[in-house]
Amino acid sequence: MAADPGQGLNRVGGADVCDPCFLGLAPERVRSRGWGLHIKQWQVTDHEGAVIGYGTDATLELPHNTGMHFRCRRKNVWRKLVSLVSPGVASGDELFDAHVHVVSKSVGMTQMVLADEGVQSIVMDMLGEGSWIELDRTSLRSYSIRDEYVSEARFSSEMCVLATHIERIRETGVGA
């Protein structure tokens, strides 16, 4: 991900992430690619102040226009019903398509991106109930409310891996 990868490798969504990026330095290190990564996290509490969830809103700004727009959401009962009327974009992978609903304004490129196993892996890792991932030409955004805390370092790594896959496919037209 970073232009100058550090030591050690950690596998995230089908890509190798160096230790510095994996341990939280990704936002600083990917600036050399012209990326801007911003993450906001908070706790969700009930009326008595007890923590009942953890929220994350992450945005990664890309330096160029990808020409793509899509939004991914985990399929729940409601999304499965919506899929009967509006099936969304299919990746060609039965397991992925059974669990993720994708809508897009750029169907051809989105199908090419979604056909990539690395993209499928990282999207499945990132999507929880009540979360979504959206690419809007120059901005990749993920919003999540989860029962379990996900560190900023992990979220940073996941966002950067997804952006790396998208850039690779956009530039070469080929998945992994």
Taking only the tens place, the pLDDT of each residue in 93-109 is 999 998 999 999 999 99
Query: How much is the pLDDT for 116?
Result: 93
Residue 56: the pLDDT is: 95
Q: Domains in the chain: how many in total?
A: 1
Residues 6+ apart with CB under 8 A from 165: 13, 14, 15, 113, 116, 118, 119, 122, 176
Closest Cα to residue 66, out of 176, 175, 165? 165
Asked whether residue 3 is domain-assigned, the answer is no
In this prediction, residue 6 carries a pLDDT of: 60
Phi, psi for 109 (deg, rounded to 5)? -65, -40
Q: Find all residues with CB under 8 Å of 9, minimum gap 6, and list them.
A: 16, 17, 18, 19
In a domain, 4, yes or no: no
69 vs 153: CA distance, rounded Å: 26
| Residues in Cβ contact with 100 at an 8 Å cutoff, skipping those fewer than 6 apart | 72, 73, 74, 75, 91, 123, 124, 127
In a domain, 110, yes or no: yes
Mean pLDDT of the chain: 88
Give the chain's radius of gyration (CA, Å). Answer: 16
Residues 6+ away with beta carbon under 8 Å from 20: 2, 6, 29
- List, for residues 28-85, the tens digit of each pLDDT value: 989 989 999 999 999 999 999 999 999 999 999 999 999 999 999 988 777 677 766 7
**Average confidence (pLDDT) over 106-118:** 92
Nearest-CA neighbor of 131 among 101, 90, 110? 101
- The token duo for 153 is 């370092």
What pLDDT is attached to residue 174?
60
Q: What is the mean pLDDT of residues 126-143?
A: 92
- Look at residue 103 and tell me if it is in a domain: yes
Query: Residue 93: which domain range?
Result: 9-172
Q: Does any domain span residue 62?
A: yes
